Structure formats: structure tokens, C-alpha cells
């Protein structure tokens, strides 16, 4: 069914059609019987798919990556598609509109997507209040946090603290996003000393009152081997739970799309990222002797792609661009393929 309507959807601006489709899904789910229909069509459950990772019980290892549901408005609706976990955000302390439109571009020839959204979101207070009302039904929810564009890097830690404190009681794990290419200067926070400062500060707050939440670091695929070695060292020193590998890439190598598309600024996701993200997962897993959790994301469009990430060292996987190109049946196909 999705293959039939995809050509029509792809005729419209990616960001606009995202809001049209998700808004339609929310309205449809209010109609009696629609949720049951979606469950029968898309969900696939099997005890063998359950995973215990970071002390959390996931009903299956396939999640929705951050960026798709920035403001936590779609959790209950997207849960009907059979995700094992959903990561909301990136959330910042203050609401912000993000970068100027258009800011998202499909590359159909490459099965990729370029975005320069810029952490557009309604702010952590709105998102936290919304998460309190969510009917989770056993779904794991992650909170991806970042800094506001107007916050200078030397004050970035305060933004991460605000988001961490506000979301602490309403998410199951945290993701520190210092790797988006769409906020000026943000990737400078991936350097060793500023990154250690942010993570150590969050861990100090995390361990108070005798309870804590897993903290993960989301990294760029464009890091060198020496920078990846630093990441392994930082994870060990700060004792965070692990890494999400990877965010979008600035690389434009070996693309078939037209120049006016592939030369758009922003982060590239989808199939062109698949090989590099797997390389990063494998490097981190082998060099660290599997000492921390890795969530694999980047170019997962099939069960084979997901299995490749898991064999490389990922405990869990996330999809984003693959969900756009393959449709909601992708989750079931991956889960069946993993079995």
C-alpha cells in the first residue's frame, strides 16, 4: 500500500508532507477500529525479540530515531507500528524555530535525505508536560537533548543540564547530541575536553538521590580514528552507558543525485550513510572490547541492513530515513528478518 502512495507523497515538500501525514495519522487513530487495524497490519511480537539493554527491557530492538518526533506528539500513534522504543527530540531549553525553509531535501536516486532543520522544537517545558500524559504501554522512550542556537559553546553545559533535569522523570534514557551539523559550532563540543565537561557534569547530577538514567552520546560519522579513540576513552572515564552511531554526515561522496540536490548544505542520512555508520560501530565495538552499549543508526532500509549493524556490535538499531523510503512495514520486516 505504501509503495502505491509513495510517488504521490514524494511530489510534495518533505517537511510539509511529514506534517500532513502525521496529522492525518493522529486524526485517523481517533476513529474506532483504526488502532486495531494498524496493530494487525504492522506489529510483530515474539519473546525472542526482547532485549535487556542498559537495565531497560525493550520489547524489540528496533527504534525510531530522534528527529522524527521532535515534540513528543506522535508517541502513541507511532507505537502502533511496532517500534520497541522511540527517541524524541532533539529538545532544547527554549523553543526555537530552527533554520529557514526549505530545509529538508529528498535524494530519491540515492535513497537519502539532506536536512538542515536546526533543532526546531517547542522547548523542554512543553515536551516534558506532554510526556507526562503519554500512555506508554511498555514502550521505552528516549530523550535527545541539545543546546539552543543562541547559547555560546562555553555555556552549553547549562542548556544540557536544564533539559536533563526537566526530562529526568519522563524519559527512560538520555542522548547528548553534540553531533548535529545544523547548529553552528555544535560539533566543536565533540572535542575531548568540552565533551568530558558536559558528560561529567550530567553524570554528577545523574547519580544524585540514589537513582540514575542511562546516558548515551550521539556521534558524527565524520570522526577520524583518533577522534573515535577519544570517544572510547571519554565513555570509559565518564562511565556513561554508551554511544549512538551515527548522526548525519557532511560527506557527499559517490552520490548519483543532481548537483542542486546533493550540494544542499546540511546532514545527509539514508542509504549513502549505511556503510560508514557500520564501520564506526565495528571500530568502536572492537577497539573498546564491547565495553559499552552501541545503538546503530544510519542507512537501515531492510532486515539485512539492521542485521549488519547488530553483527558489527550494535545492541539496538534505529530507523529514520528508511522509514520514509520503505514505509511502516519496514519494522515488521526487520523483526521477522532478525528472527
Cβ-contact 123, 159 below 8 angstroms: no
Distance separating alpha carbons of residues 183 and 166, to the nearest angstrom? 22
**What is the maximum alpha-carbon separation in the chain?**
55
For residue 221, CA distances in Å to 148, 248, 313 come to: 22, 7, 16
Count CB neighbours of 136 within 10 A. Answer: 13
Give one word for 274, left, alpha or beta, with left for phi > 0 and alpha for psi -120 to 50. alpha
Give one word for 314, left, alpha or beta, with left for phi > 0 and alpha for psi -120 to 50. beta
180 catalytic, yes or no?
Answer: yes
Element (H, E) at 234: helix 225-238
Q: Exactly one of 180, 257, 277, 288 is catalytic; name it.
A: 180
**Sequence-ordered strand ranges (E) for the chain:** 51-53, 56-58, 62-64, 85-91, 104-107, 112-115, 140-145, 173-177, 215-219, 242-245, 267-270, 293-297, 316-319
Count CB neighbours of 165 within 10 A. Answer: 14
Cβ-contact 88, 127 below 8 angstroms: yes
Helix (H, G, I), strand (E, B) or coil at 120: coil
Catalytic residues, which ones? Answer: 180
Amino acid at each position: 500500500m505504501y509503495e502505491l502512495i509513495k510517488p504521490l507523497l514524494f511530489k510534495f515538500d518533505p517537511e510539509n508532507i511529514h506534517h500532513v501525514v502525521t496529522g492525518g495519522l493522529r486524526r485517523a487513530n481517533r476513529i474506532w477500529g483504526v488502532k486495531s487495524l494498524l496493530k494487525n497490519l504492522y506489529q510483530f511480537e515474539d519473546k525472542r525479540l526482547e532485549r535487556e539493554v542498559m537495565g531497560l527491557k525493550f520489547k524489540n530492538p528496533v527504534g525510531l530515531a530522534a528527529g522524527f518526533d521532535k515534540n513528543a506528539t506522535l508517541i502513541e500513534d507511532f507505537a502502533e507500528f511496532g517500534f520497541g522504543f522511540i527517541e524524541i527530540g532533539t529538545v532544547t531549553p527554549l523553543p526555537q524555530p530552527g533554520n529557514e525553509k526549505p530545509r529538508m531535501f529528498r535524494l530519491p536516486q540515492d535513497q537519502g535525505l539532506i536536512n538542515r532543520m536546526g533543532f526546531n522544537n517547542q522547548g523542554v517545558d512543553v515536551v516534558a508536560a506532554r510526556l507526562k500524559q503519554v500512555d506508554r504501554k511498555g514502550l521505552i522512550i528516549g530523550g535527545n537533548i541539545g543546546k539552543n542556537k543562541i547559547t555560546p559553546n562555553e555555556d552549553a553545559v547549562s542548556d544540557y543540564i536544564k533539559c536533563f533535569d526537566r526530562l529526568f522523570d519522563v524519559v527512560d534514557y538520555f542522548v547528548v547530541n553534540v553531533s548535529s551539523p545544523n547548529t553552528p559550532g555544535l560539533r566543536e563540543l565533540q572535542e575531548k575536553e568540552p565533551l568530558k565537561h558536559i558528560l561529567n557534569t550530567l553524570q554528577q547530577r545523574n547519580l544524585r538521590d540514589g537513582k540514575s538514567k542511562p546516558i548515551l552520546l550521539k556521534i558524527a560519522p565524520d570522526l577520524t580514528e583518533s577522534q573515535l579513540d577519544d570517544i572510547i576513552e571519554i565513555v570509559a572515564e565518564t562511565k556513561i552507558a554508551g554511544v549512538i552511531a551515527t548522526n548525519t554526515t557532511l560527506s557527499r561522496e559517490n552520490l548519483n543525485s543532481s548537483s542542486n540536490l546533493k550540494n544542499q548544505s546540511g546532514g545527509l542520512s539514508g542509504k549513502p550513510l549505511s556503510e560508514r555508520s557500520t564501520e564506526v560501530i565495528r571500530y568502536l565495538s572492537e577497539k573498546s572490547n564491547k565495553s559499552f552499549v552501541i545503538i546503530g543508526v544510519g542507512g537501515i532500509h531492510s532486515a539485512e541492513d539492521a542485521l549488519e549493524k547488530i553483527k558489527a556490535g550494535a545492541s539496538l538499531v534505529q530507523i529514520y530515513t528508511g522509514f520514509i523510503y520503505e514505509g511502516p512495514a519496514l519494522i515488521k520486516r526487520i523483526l521477522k528478518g532478525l528472527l
